[in-house]
């Protein structure tokens, strides 16, 4: 059951096919939140137009930045994200509430139409921008059941795996659970 999910924003990504190093033949492509395999549309942070979750409040905000700065969106896919309101420190398996960076305007516009693709678990050692996906970057999709986009099917499964310490030692924590949505335009 999804409880305490909060809208965190949008990102345009260049979705990559499963890399050869990832030994899971069910995975076709990588929809991870991280920028490690499927890149963000650009290194957007330098423009300081992101929200307090280091994403964009709307697809329009992202497209406006791309247009103003001449950033290419051709070949990208727009994603919408929600996150569980608590982050987990996998060393001690404790959950704590997290908030957006207050110096940025955070007013995420929830899309009218979206398709849930699955759940990603992402490191936040700096506690601002998403870092590595435990499933793709850390090869955990080789031992944990994932769908064709390298995401966990349910929130309950993602939270249970974290609570059981399945990702201990993957990346410096804390980490957060993200719901990954495709937009229906």
The reply to whether omega before 47 is within 30° of 0 (cis) is no
For residue 1, what pLDDT is reported? Answer: 45
Judge contact between 121 and 134, C-beta under 8 A.
yes
- Rounded to whole angstroms, how far apart are CA atoms 155 and 76? 26
- Rounded to whole angstroms, how far apart are CA atoms 170 and 139? 9
pLDDT tens digits, 132-179: 899 998 889 999 999 999 999 999 999 999 999 888 878 877 999 999
- Rounded to whole angstroms, how far apart are CA atoms 24 and 148? 9
Q: What three-state secondary structure class fits 2?
A: coil
% of the chain surpassing 90 pLDDT = 76
Residue ranges of domains in the chain: 5-183
pLDDT tens digits, 99-136: 999 999 999 999 999 999 999 999 988 877 888 899 99
Judge contact between 13 and 41, C-beta under 8 A.
yes
First and final CA of the chain: distance in angstroms?
A: 27
pLDDT tens digits, 54-95: 999 999 999 999 999 999 999 999 999 999 999 998 778 889
Question: Looking up tokens 């979206």, which residue turns up?
Answer: 114
What are the structure tokens assigned to 178, written together? 């993200």
């Amino acid at each position: 059951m999804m409880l305490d999910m909060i809208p965190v924003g949008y990102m345009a990504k260049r979705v990559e096919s499963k890399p050869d190093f990832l030994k899971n033949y069910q995975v076709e492509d990588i929809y991870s939140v991280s920028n490690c395999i499927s890149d963000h549309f650009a290194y957007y942070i330098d423009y300081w137009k992101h929200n307090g979750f280091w994403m964009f409040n709307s697809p329009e905000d992202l497209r406006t930045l791309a247009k103003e700065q001449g950033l290419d969106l051709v070949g990208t896919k727009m994603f919408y994200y929600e996150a569980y309101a608590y982050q987990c420190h996998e060393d001690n398996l404790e959950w704590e509430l997290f908030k957006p960076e207050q110096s940025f305007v955070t007013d995420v516009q929830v899309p009218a139409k979206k398709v849930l693709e699955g759940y990603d678990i992402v490191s936040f050692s700096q506690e601002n921008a998403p870092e590595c996906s435990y499933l793709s970057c850390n090869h955990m999709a080789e031992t944990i059941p994932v769908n064709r986009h390298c995401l966990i099917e349910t929130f309950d499964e993602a939270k249970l795996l974290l609570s059981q310490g399945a990702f201990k030692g993957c990346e410096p924590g804390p980490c957060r659970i993200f719901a990954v949505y495709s937009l229906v335009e």
